[in-house]
Structure formats: structure tokens, C-alpha cells
Structure 1
Amino acid sequence: MPQAEFKCDRRSLRSQHALLDALVQQLSEGEDLSRVTVASLTERAGLTRRTFYTHYKDIPDFVEQVESAILADIRKLVARIGAATLPELYRNIDELAPAPGSVELLSYLRDRGELIGSLLGPGGDPAFIKKLIDLAREAVAGRMQTGIFPGALGAFFDYYLSYVVTAEVGVIQRWFETGLRESPETMARIMTVIAFVRPGDLYGKPIDINVPEYGMKLLNLHFETEEI
């Protein structure tokens, strides 16, 4: 049974989990989230529409509450990953160990694989993916700016952060697409190191770029363009 946290009496809890199961079944069968209706959901769940409206205003409200519960849990788990320092990450990579908190996060996602996989899938909610990306950006932005060369801030850093976070979320989507074949421990190790892989590393021809110097050149180029 897919899991999400609901705070209410036992009978209401059963009803809400029945609706959650029904949603996952519909999405797993290829139904698009935009076509899910109260009638189809309650019929599949074996409940009345009145029961549905006791808890939710409509389908968007139902989905919003389900996603909010998931995101609240993920935010706590991502916070630990976001607090890791570069020396810690380098040490973990040397020791073939995952980033702190990454196994716990991926285990959470796997344990709720049916529900989260449905939301991330082709018939799911694109807004949920955007919420995940925004959540991750917020969690790691502060740590990633610590000790960074000032010239690498601004537009360069903003796009770099988007690149890293979106790529990591894309890796998670791919994990779900392939049926969660790898264990959370294996995926955590892959995701810990993958952000540090440079173009050419896989071919034994790494490309070394002086990022602070490049950032300063971009900054100067931006100023020169504004003056023209």
C-alpha cells in the first residue's frame, strides 16, 4: 500500500488510504492524472462521493495534500544531505561511501515507490517534479555557496545549481523508470559521485576548467556588454 501521512480517526484514515490506492492504480494503468475524476476514484476505492468531499474539495486538493505530505518528509531528509561539506563528500567518495542521509532519502522513495513513481511517471503530475527541484535547490543552495569564489556567483552559479539539482532529480526519475533495480545503497553511491564527473572523465580525457577564472571572465564580459 502506498503511504502518506494523514492525521485523523481510524475510519477516515482507511478511507483516505483507499483513495490513495485507487489513485495509484489508475495512474499505474496508464490513466492521466488530469483525467482522474471523483467518480472514478471513489468507485475504484469502494467509497461514496460524500466520503471524498468530507476530506477534500476536489481532485486537485486531494493531490495537493498527498504531495504536501510527501514533500514534507523529503524536505527533512534532503536537509541532511544539503548540510554535508565538500571535505565530507570527498572523504566519502574515497571510501566508496554514500553522502550522509542519501541512503535514508532513497529508501524513503523506494518504500513509497508505487505512489511516488506514479506521480513522477508520464501520467503523473509535472508540478510535483518542479516542487522536488525547488525543494532540493532550497536545501543545498546555502551549503554550495559556502567558500565559493565570488566571481562564480550570479548567473553562472544559478545555472550551475539548476544543472546539478535537475540532473539529480532526473537520475531519480530514471531509477523509477527502470523499476528501482539498484538498491538505495547502490544508488546513493552513484548519486554521491555523479555530480563530480566532468566531461571526458569516463573516457580518460578529463577537461580541467578554472571555474573562478571563467566566472570572472563572464562577469567582465557581462559588464562590457552592458556598456556598449
Structure 2
Amino acid sequence: MSLRSMSINIDLSNSEHPKFSEPRITLSQVNFFYGRNGTGKTTLTSILDDNLSQQGYLVRIFSGFDPMLANDEPLNALSLGEENAEAQRIINSCNKELEEYDKQITEMEEKYEATKLRYDQNEENIRKYLSATARKVKETSNPQIARPSYNITDVNYELQFAQPLDPQQSNELIKQCREIPFENIIHHEPSFLNSLDISELFIIANQLLQNSLKPQVNSVTLI
């Protein structure tokens, strides 16, 4: 129901400061109220708001642009109120928790950097040790136990098959190396090569080379 379809009765008798001669008024579709300052226009507006709100109407009162505008001035701290104070307390508590988390993250980052530095140093030390080992093996001449191109890659590969030796075993193997010419030394190769019979492989390859391939064509009789 709207003001366009019916009249509205307003009770003026309940005004906190009675200023009207009539106990009630009836509003039409459009109404104008005018008068000097202090004649009750603002009071009448409040009464209309109360009456119409109680009757289920949505009331919107326009009282000029001043209440909608504000100067660019600092807010009064007293206007925060209890709700804002509680919100600030929660914010302070959250900030404190964030500071603790930041502290833990900083500590973990420092531990990570320290651990990474030790890891890189150890990795570099291992690389230098293996490189020195490869150079020592390559430069050993009595007996010569490695080819001139021997390097750290060879050391890493041979470490997979390395076994500890006591001094006696070491001396015996050194003696054997001195007795065998370097060109006769067979370097370790993958295990599948050890099972190959080179002489048999040579015979098979020779037979294949001697055989000739002849194309086989099926004859077709056309009638």
C-alpha cells in the first residue's frame, strides 16, 4: 500500500513538546509544510517518521546536504567507542601473532641458509678431492694404471665397484700391475660385454657379409 492509493492519518497528540492545535492531521498524496523557524517543522517531521514507520512505511528524510558532507579533519579519538576499541584489541593481538610467525620464519630461513652453505662447501670439498684423486691416478707411472684422459667422471664410475684393501692386498695388486704391460690391461666394462664371445661374433658377421640377398618374386599368370 502506498501514499498514492489512500490518505494517512497522523496522530499529533503524542508529541513530546506539543505545538499543534489539532490532535491529528490527514496527509494526502503530496503535502507541503512551511513556517518560520521554531514553528514545529522538524518536530512534525519526527512525528511523521514515527507514525509512518509504525504503520509499515519506509521513511527517508532529507534534511539538506550538510549532514552528507564532512570537512577533511582528523577524527576525534573519543568517537571510536567500545566497538572500535574491541576491534583495535583484536588487531593488536593479530599483529602480535604475526610478529611471532615472522620471527619463526626468519629463524628457519637462517637455518636453511646455514645448512645450504655447509652443503655447498662439503660438495665442493668432495669435488676437489675426487679431482685430485683422478689427477693422482692419471699421473701414476710406476705402474701406469690409467689412460691419459682419465678424469673425475672415471673416478665416480669406478667408485661403484671400489672395495677396501688391506696393505698386503694393495702391494700384491701393485706388483701385478707392474708385471702386466699397460696396453694389455683390460678396463672394466659393463657386465653384459664380459659374456660376449668375440671370436664367435666375428664368424657370424663374416658369414653375413659373404651371403648375397636375392629378391623372391611370386609369379602370376594372367588369363
Shorter-chain TM-score category? under 0.3
Identify the structure with the greater helix proportion: 1
Q: TM-score, normalised by structure 2?
A: 0.21
> Which structure has the higher relative contact order (CA within 8 Å, separation 6+)?
1
Tell which structure's C-alpha radius of gyration is larger: 2
